[in-house]
Amino acid sequence: MAEPHSLSQLAPTPFDQSATRSVNNPEVLLLATTSTSPFMAYPQIVSSTTSNPYARVVNRFGDTYPSTVSSAYPAPEGYSSHGSAPRAVPHYVNSSHAPQPSPPIVFIPEPGAWNVARLIGLRSEEWERYIHPNGSSYWTYLWSNGTFVVSDIEPPSFVSNLTILEELQAVSKDLASNSLLSTSLDIHISKHGCSFIQHEHRSGMSAQKNMAQFQAQLLNLQNLPLFERLQLEARYWAYLESHPNHRTLFPSVLDEVSAALTWCYADRVLYEGSNAPFEKENAREMLDLIQNISTREAMGGNNQPGSPASVLCTWYCSAVMRAIVYDRRYSHYGRRRAAEIRRRAQSEDLAIDLPYKFAIERVLWYVAGVLAFGSPFGYLKRIHNVDRTVIGDGINTIRWRAFLKELCKEWTDSNLLVSI
């Protein structure tokens, strides 16, 4: 599986002999250079095909066209801003006088390349629409220098949201002053505002904090408290789970998912009071599926970004990692009390007293319990066995499901006795 874009991977795309490249814009420099320069590279753009149900490109919103790749920069005067493009060529101008051969062409982003007006303009053909496996849609825009703007709102509808525009303007200033921040970066637009997603560090953060703060956290990632790191990673996996089409996973993610599922399965088999996030049968089925995906990857399966195999693999692994990271956040994973919390999770008997304010409350509680033949005591104990937040733990979802099944069975049995 291909890794997400990084500076070392953004090699310039060979220029097609049947095409010519001309940009009549003083803010954009067209230079020929080697692929070894980390600052003079254009990100690879992989076109989807009409046979791919998860990466169809819908241009001009309403009409479906064959897959094309368009530039993030204005077209020269007299040319169409969006024509049929050869595969992996950033922009194509239909000309019969193309030079033979043409040198590789790359862009050096200038501060003007981060122009927000260009992003939110009416050039809707430069946005690509992707279809998630669950049927939902999202749109991407290759802003500049490897940065994608990913919108859950059909562009340019978000133009009316002043909060989003202000956050985009602030991001554009930060990126213009330091283009290194843009490597493997997604700017996510949702109805709640913008957020930053950094694929190389597997981190996500709301845009309410500026890009400089986000960059400072990434540089100091190893020194952050574990809970904060898990919080950044949880946001990342939740994002990638809902936007799997335009990016691919790091190859090591498959190994991480496999190891986590193996531990869940083994922990359920070996320990009766396991607090693993998945039940034994579910962990076994998911482990078989991830091993099947790994086998296909080893055999040279289609792992290009946007391909059905790649999209499903990215979505599935992200969903599993999201569940695992969320569980680690609330199970004291890696913290000093982790062993104590695990022991409590395995224990069925918890000595918990109600927070009585007055002695009369305690007396009335015990009197009511005796009059009800002790049933309040039993139900209270069962509730505390599920909801352990009062002692600093969390709610065990497996215990909660078992508790609900018991209540439903008791309700059914009581109705049966009444009917008889």
Q: Which pLDDT does position 151 carry in this prediction?
A: 92
3-state secondary structure at position 371: helix
* 379-417 per-position pLDDT tens digit: 777 776 676 554 555 556 666 777 788 888 888 877 776
* 279-335 per-position pLDDT tens digit: 888 899 999 988 887 776 655 555 667 788 888 889 999 999 999 998 888 777 777
| Token duo for residue 270 | 């070996």
Q: Which pLDDT does position 92 carry in this prediction?
A: 35
Q: What is the mean pLDDT of the chain?
A: 69
| Whole-number Å distance between alpha carbons of 180 and 219 | 13
| Whole-number Å distance between alpha carbons of 394 and 398 | 12
Report, as an integer, the average pLDDT of 151-160: 84
Q: Which pLDDT does position 12 carry in this prediction?
A: 38
* 89-103 per-position pLDDT tens digit: 333 334 344 344 444
* 213-222 per-position pLDDT tens digit: 888 888 888 8
Contact 88, 69 (CB under 8 A): yes
SS (H, E, C) 197-250: EECCCCEEEECCCCHHHHHHHHHCHHHCCHHHHHHHHHHHHHHHHHCCCCCCCC
Model confidence at 121, pLDDT cuts 50, 70, 90, reads low
| Whole-number Å distance between alpha carbons of 187 and 140 | 10
Dihedral over Cα of 385, 390, 392, 395: its sign: positive
